[in-house]
Amino acid sequence: MSKERATSLKDVAVAAGVSVTTVSRLLNGSLELPTETRQRIETAIADLRYEPNPHARRLSRGRSDTIGLVVPDIANPFFATLVAAVEQKADGEAKALSLYATLNRSGREVAYLRMLERNHVDGLVFVTNHPDDGELANLINRTGKVVVVDEDVPGTTVPKLFCDNVQGGYLAGKHLAENGHRNVLYVGGVEGMISTRRRFQGLEQAMMEGTAGAARLFRYGGEYTVEFGRQAARRFLDEGLPATAIFASSDEIAIGLIEVLRAQGVSIPRDLSIIGFDDVGPLHLFAPPLTAIRQPVRAIGERALALLLETDWEQSETSHGEELLPVEIVVRSSVAPPPKQ
């Protein structure tokens, strides 16, 4: 049994005795017609039960009413929470959301940016999680209508939205110094990333202030993953660093650290104190509950979409600024004074 063919715009035009362009422009609201001509078209639409394609109509007006969201990984709780916040905000703005997961690969990021150039979406909220060699920056600047979120893409002139990473590092360092720590290991992201650099900057500032310059800081850098946390813990144990506390720059890193340290009989916080960053997972259920710097992840997602919609993209020569959202420390039970020697 053959499937009945859907009525097309051409069918309506033939029945009404006008051109396809005339029907299209009438439906788009871009053409005024004599009453008799308009009535013929409306009658043809009703008789033929023609249903306009809303997506095609939006594209004909130069927009899709769809926003793209590019993230490295939807399995990570941080990015999952961000996606949920952007989706809810988009729904409130009567916008559809297209989600693109890049697996943190630059090739996939480039492909999605080029999709915007082809006008498949009206703009992008763009999140990367690795340093850029310049290709992304050039493409973002050429494309426009992009808001860079969470990590910087240096050299871009589009709006940028980050948490206050320096403040986060400072709050962690202040808390550790107040608990008597002088030797601290910072387990951060890849060198060259804004979060890695700024969180260490804040940590160093607070530790030096809190210890009258007597602090010693050590650094490991890698990906924001549980596996890197495991690797960092093994390295810490193998090297025998004199650190009495660790500042882990993500929940994922902290989980990997704790897993290995606990398996090796390290008691937290009796033997070693730990502070995490993000606080999007159930850190209160850990044993002990994990002290962490909390990012306002939902607020970041909501503000990112608002920035995308409110920015005047016609001001192509304008270099847009950087906006920071504040963080806070959530004190639980994973930090204590260092063990007495």
194 and 155 share a domain? no
pLDDT of 81-97, one tens digit each? Answer: 999 999 999 999 888 89
Q: Considering the chain, what percentage of its residues have pLDDT values greater than 90?
A: 64
pLDDT of residue 209: 97
Which sign does the torsion angle of CA 106, 108, 114, 115 carry? negative
Is residue 33 one of the residues assigned to a domain?
yes
187 and 241 share a domain? yes
List, in sequence order, every residue forming a beta bridge with 324; answer none if it has no partner: 162
Whether the bond between 269 and the residue before it is cis, its omega within 30 degrees of 0, is yes
Is residue 341 one of the residues assigned to a domain?
no
CB atoms within 10 A of CB 39: 12
- Decide if 215 contacts 247 (C-beta within 8 A): no
210 and 291 share a domain? yes
pLDDT of residue 82: 96
53 and 73 share a domain? no
Q: What band does 335 get if pLDDT is binned at 50, 70 and 90?
A: very high
How many domains does the chain contain in total? 3
155 and 194 share a domain? no
Which sign does the torsion angle of CA 77, 80, 84, 86 carry? positive
pLDDT of residue 170: 98
Most confident of 117-126, 252-261, 304-313: 252-261
CB atoms within 10 A of CB 112: 19
Is residue 41 one of the residues assigned to a domain?
yes
127 and 245 share a domain? no
178 and 281 share a domain? yes
Is residue 121 one of the residues assigned to a domain?
yes
179 and 251 share a domain? yes
Could you give the CA distance from residue 320 to residue 327 in angstroms, rounded to a whole number?
23
The amino acid present at 150, given as its one-letter code, is D
DSSP state letters, 15-31: HHTS-HHHHHHHHHT--
At residue 145, φ and ψ (nearest 5 deg) are: 50, 45
Q: Which tokens is 233 given?
A: 């813990």
pLDDT of residue 223: 93
159 and 175 share a domain? no
Burial (0-12, 13-18, 19+ Cβ within 10 Å), 300 = buried
Could you give the CA distance from residue 141 to residue 154 in angstroms, rounded to a whole number?
11
Assign 158 to helix, strand or coil. coil
CATH number, residue 78: 3.40.50.2300
Could you give the CA distance from residue 65 to residue 96 in angstroms, rounded to a whole number?
6
In the predicted structure, residue 59 carries a pLDDT above the cut 50: no
169 and 256 share a domain? yes
209 and 159 share a domain? no
Is residue 259 one of the residues assigned to a domain?
yes
> Domain limits at 131?
66-163+297-324
- Decide if 290 contacts 172 (C-beta within 8 A): no
Q: Which tokens is 189 given?
A: 């992201």
Is residue 4 one of the residues assigned to a domain?
no
pLDDT of 248-265, one tens digit each? Answer: 999 999 999 999 999 999
Is residue 243 one of the residues assigned to a domain?
yes
Residues whose CB is less than 8 angstroms from the CB of residue 236 and which lie 6 or more positions away in sequence, other chains included: 185, 220, 243, 246
28 and 104 share a domain? no
pLDDT of residue 53: 60
Name which residue leads in pLDDT, 299 or 20: 299
CB atoms within 10 A of CB 152: 21
pTM here?
A: 0.81
Is residue 109 one of the residues assigned to a domain?
yes
Q: Which tokens is 339 given?
A: 């063990």
Q: What band does 315 get if pLDDT is binned at 50, 70 and 90?
A: low
CA distances from 318 to 58, 144, 151, 157 (A): 28, 11, 21, 8
In the predicted structure, residue 199 carries a pLDDT above the cut 60: yes
